[in-house]
C-alpha cells in the first residue's frame, strides 16, 4: 500500500495512483518495481541490474538516459568515509537527505519529497511516525 503523509498540510494521500499523481506535481516519478528474478542482499551489481533490467531499460528510453549503475561501496572506500556508510542500502538524495536500510515506502517517499523541496532530514521529533 502506498501512503504519503504531508505533515505541513495535515494531509495523508493513500493508494499508488494518488501518491504518483501528487509526486508528479513536484516532478517526481513514482514507480514500484518488482524484480524479475530474486537476488541475495549481497548479490553482485550484475545480478541487481539483471533483476530490474526491463524497468531500467524502460526508464532509460523514457528519460534519455544512457547508463544505469549499481555501486559496490566496498570497492570505493572514499565513498564509505565521505558518506559514513554503515549499512546498505545507503540512499543519498541531492547531498541533503541520507538514510540507511530499507525504509517502508511512506518513509522513503517522505525523504524524497524533503530532498526535492530543498530541505534536510527532519529531526527525531519532527518526523511523522508512519512517514
Q: Using 50, 70 and 90 to split pLDDT, how confident is the model at 38?
A: confident
Write out the H or E segment, with its range, that includes residue 58: helix 53-63
Q: Using 50, 70 and 90 to split pLDDT, how confident is the model at 1?
A: low
Note whether residue 67 is domain-resident. yes
What is the count of structural domains for the chain? 1
* Residue 81 region by backbone torsions, left for phi larger than 0, else alpha for psi between -120 and 50, else beta: alpha
Q: Using 50, 70 and 90 to split pLDDT, how confident is the model at 120?
A: low
pLDDT of residue 124: 37
Note whether residue 127 is domain-resident. no
Write out the H or E segment, with its range, that includes residue 50: helix 45-51
Note whether residue 83 is domain-resident. yes
Taking CA atoms, 93 is separated from 14, 90, 101, in Å, by 23, 10, 14
Note whether residue 121 is domain-resident. no
Taking CA atoms, 20 is separated from 50, 74, 90, 109, 130, in Å, by 25, 34, 23, 10, 18
Q: Using 50, 70 and 90 to split pLDDT, how confident is the model at 86?
A: confident
pLDDT of residue 123: 38
Q: Please give the average per-residue pLDDT across 81-107, as a whole number.
A: 76
Q: Please give the average per-residue pLDDT across 85-104, as a whole number.
A: 74
Tell me the three cell numbers of residue 109: 517517499
Note whether residue 69 is domain-resident. yes
**pLDDT tens for each residue of 6-24:** 777 888 888 888 888 888 8
Q: Reduce the DSSP state of residue 5 to 3 states and report it.
A: strand
Note whether residue 93 is domain-resident. yes
Distance, CA of 112 to CA of 108 (rounded, Å): 6
Note whether residue 123 is domain-resident. no
Note whether residue 124 is domain-resident. no
Q: What is the DSSP string of 67-113?
A: ------GGG-HHHHHHHT--SSSEEEETTTEEEES---HHHHHHHHH
Please tell me whether the peptide bond between 68 and the residue prior to it is cis, using omega within 30 degrees of 0. no
User: The domain that contains 55 carries what CATH number?
Assistant: 3.40.30
Structural domain boundaries, residue 99? 3-116
pLDDT of residue 121: 56
Q: Please give the average per-residue pLDDT across 38-44, as a whole number.
A: 81
Amino acid at each position: 500500500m502506498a501512503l504519503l503523509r504531508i505533515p505541513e498540510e495535515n494531509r495523508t494521500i493513500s493508494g499508488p495512483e494518488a501518491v504518483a499523481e501528487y509526486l508528479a506535481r513536484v516532478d517526481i516519478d513514482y514507480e514500484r518495481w518488482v524484480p524479475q528474478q530474486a537476488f541475495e542482499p549481497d548479490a553482485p551489481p550484475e545480478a541487481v541490474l539483471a533483476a530490474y533490467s526491463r524497468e531500467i531499460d524502460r526508464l532509460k528510453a523514457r528519460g534519455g538516459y544512457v547508463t544505469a549503475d549499481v555501486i559496490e561501496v566496498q570497492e570505493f572506500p572514499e565513498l564509505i568515509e565521505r558518506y559514513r556508510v554503515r549499512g546498505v542500502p545507503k540512499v543519498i538524495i541531492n547531498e541533503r537527505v541520507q538514510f540507511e536500510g530499507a525504509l517502508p515506502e511512506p518513509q522513503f517517499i517522505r525523504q524524497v519529497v524533503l530532498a526535492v523541496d530543498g530541505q534536510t532530514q527532519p529531526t527525531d521529533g519532527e518526523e511523522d511516525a508512519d512517514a
